[in-house]
Amino acid sequence: MNPYASWRHALKGVFRIGQTTSIIAATGFAWATGDRLPTPRVLRLTFERLGATYVKLGQFIASSPSLFPAEYVTEFQHCLDKTEPLSFEIMRDVLERELKRPMHEVFSEVDEIPLASASIAQVHAAKLITGESVVIKIQKPGVEQVLLTDLNFLYVTALLLERVLPKLKFASLSGIVSEIQGCMMEEVDFYKEARNVEQFRAYLEATGNTQATAPRIYPEASSLRVLTMERFYGVPLTDLETIRKYTRDPAGTLVAALNTWFSSLMLCESFHADLHAGNLMVLTDGRLGFIDFGIVGRIAPDTWTATMAFIESLGDGDFKKMAESMALIGMTKRKVDNAQLALDLEAIYGAATTVDPLSIGGAMANDNEINKLMLEIVAVGERHGIRFPRAFALLLKQMLYFDRYIRILAPDMNLFDDDRISFLGDDSGGHKLLH
């Protein structure tokens, strides 16, 4: 990098830190002069004003109950990653700079109105010059520099706080920031996202799964900051009325989605860790479309086995088994007293009178109560020296998504009692997906 570019990046960094400081100061002033919303809500709204890094940080908090207080985890479930789109002229410049050629040499047409606009990228519909319908995910200019500046600022701040407040060092605040940095920087590397998609497609092919698919990637029209993918046509899995146009068996389609995802935990190099309704589609040909692999998780087979034992024990009310599973899942430097842990878990259930333990594995009656229960379980684990890996939190979050799908598409289904569902994967060619 030439010295002028270095100076330019440095000045942008200083400006960004100044911008961050001014927004935080304005929020503090508003709070001090009477606009006293609950602290978690103030923080969430401030994060949304601060942009990409802090929106992603908010989403990280929402999916990390083992690292953050329950009230913050709950509030950041509402953290919005939706921004005003940038002009197409700006995005065209990024596109042509990344692909190193004029746009018309790659695409015969590009819709200037984006399909979606988030903090990191916006998505445009297009057609390749070879005729294929595609979507182009284009990273917004300067996002990577902003992320690096913000995250380095947060890391230095964490180190200073750990020095001033030694208790925070015990909580490894700087270590948490480093983990966040690793997760976020993966999201701005579209080569990694492309690899995630290709790995999932390879897993589907290897298991003979023809009921699900993921978008084809077009490497010749992609780069570090541009990702061109096959365009899917269909509806979200939660749109029951429209789904009936594409499949005669919505419940069977859901079973196929569940088995595809559960099997990927064992048979794919990574699992889709953000499978909300917008990322799981029923295509017009009846197949399932898995999209947006920017956030993935990785879990060791033995950890997944312990996780399933843990989730099953929730439904059974088997506190001894729950305690043993938690000890196997979590990371701890001291011996866990499983007997006492079981008693503490039982006490949680005694207090959670509005939750039917038998409903947890199937149709959950109240999301808020379930989320609260999950957070309390995590908190009990922490008191016994257990810190859950992030993959565990992502798995639990996904189980909550699946519960919503079950209530819409198959309200009579019991997740753990339905013999059509295989939790531990199937290495026999995927023939159990619908049977």
Pairing of strands 212-213, 288-290: parallel
pLDDT tens digit sequence for 23-42: 655 555 455 555 667 778 88
- Pairing of β 234-236 and β 226-230: unpaired
In terms of Cβ atoms closer than 10 Å to its own Cβ (0-12, 13-18, 19+), residue 41 is middle
Instruction: For 281, list phi and psi in degrees, rounded to 5.
Output: -115, 155
In the predicted model, residues of the chain with pLDDT beneath 50 are 5, 13, 15, 29, 168-171, 352-367, 427-435
pLDDT given at position 333? 59
Amino acid at 47: F
> According to the model, what pLDDT value does residue 358 have?
41
CA-atom Rg of the chain in angstroms:
23
Quick one: pLDDT at residue 433? 38
> Tokens 């009656």 correspond to what residue?
365
Active site residue 274: yes
pLDDT of residue 104: 96
* C-alpha 420: how far from chain center: 26
Q: Select which of 274, 292, 344, 403 is catalytic.
A: 274
**Residue 392, C-beta contacts closer than 8 angstroms, at least 6 positions apart:** 66, 299, 303, 307, 329, 330
Q: What is the pLDDT of residues 113-166, one digit of tens each?
A: 999 888 889 999 999 999 999 999 999 998 888 777 877 777 777 777 667 666
281 forms beta bridges with 236, 289
Contacts (Cβ under 8 Å, ≥6 apart) of 284: 233, 234, 246
Task: Determine phi and psi for 35, rounding to 5 degrees.
Answer: -85, 70
Could you give the CA distance from residue 374 to residue 419 in angstroms, rounded to a whole number?
A: 26
What gap in Å lies between CA 177 and CA 183, rounded to an integer?
A: 10
pLDDT of residue 354: 43
Question: What's the pLDDT at 65?
Answer: 60
DSSP element (H, E) containing 372? helix 367-383
